[in-house]
Amino acid sequence: MSWSVSVAGLSFALVAGVLRLFVLGGRVRLLEGLAITDALTGAYNRRHLDECLSTAIQRRARHGESAALLLMDVDRFKEINDSLGHAAGDRVLKSIAAVVRSRARRMDALFRSGGEEFALLLTGADLRDATAVAEELRLAIERSSPIDGGLSVSIGVSDLDAGHTAESWLHDADVALYLAKRAGRNRVAARDGHIGVYRSEAAVVTSIPAAAPFH
């Protein structure tokens, strides 16, 4: 009888131990997820963006896998906050994240890279594909405005070059974004890494050295 009780007690202890490990593992995964996620939009945060850019660069070097980066900035976001309030600004950011997620593939990753700026990392995409995706997202966001007065974004696109670091890749997408803003906002501009030219959908073609400072 005592032997049976001992076996039952041991079985219970083993089950309890497994359950504790399962719960602990779930809590660890939850905390890890929270550490890389933007609380407002549910997109990944800037820290995780840096990590994913470095991973994409490594995969290109090892396996030749292409990738492209989109930087999206809300046009006149300060005016939205000033005229409609910060709650409206929050609705705008959450709406944009929802629109992008609804159209992104499972292999793509969305990040909130700044206050009103998002980044979308496209795995296996070349510049032509990424520019088409950017234009589709621009139109979808414009048509899904959660506020009166309309909503638009400007988008900069850069494909991944062999010589890119995470910093220079982000810089190139940032310069393309600047050109989209300068060309009138609510448009897409892309960097062609093969010829070192930034092209805007507004027919603006500007030669800018890849190492040019951007402010």
Active site residues: 116
CA gap 50, 111 in Å, rounded: 10
CA gap 205, 119 in Å, rounded: 23
DSSP class per residue in 53-70: HHHHHHHHHHH---EEEE
CA gap 1, 194 in Å, rounded: 80
3-class DSSP assignment, residue 123: strand
Nearest to 190 by CA among 74, 202, 115: 202
CA gap 132, 130 in Å, rounded: 5
3-class DSSP assignment, residue 125: coil
**What's the order of all strands across the beta sheet hosting 153-159?**
109-112, 117-123, 67-74, 153-159, 188-192, 197-200, 205-207
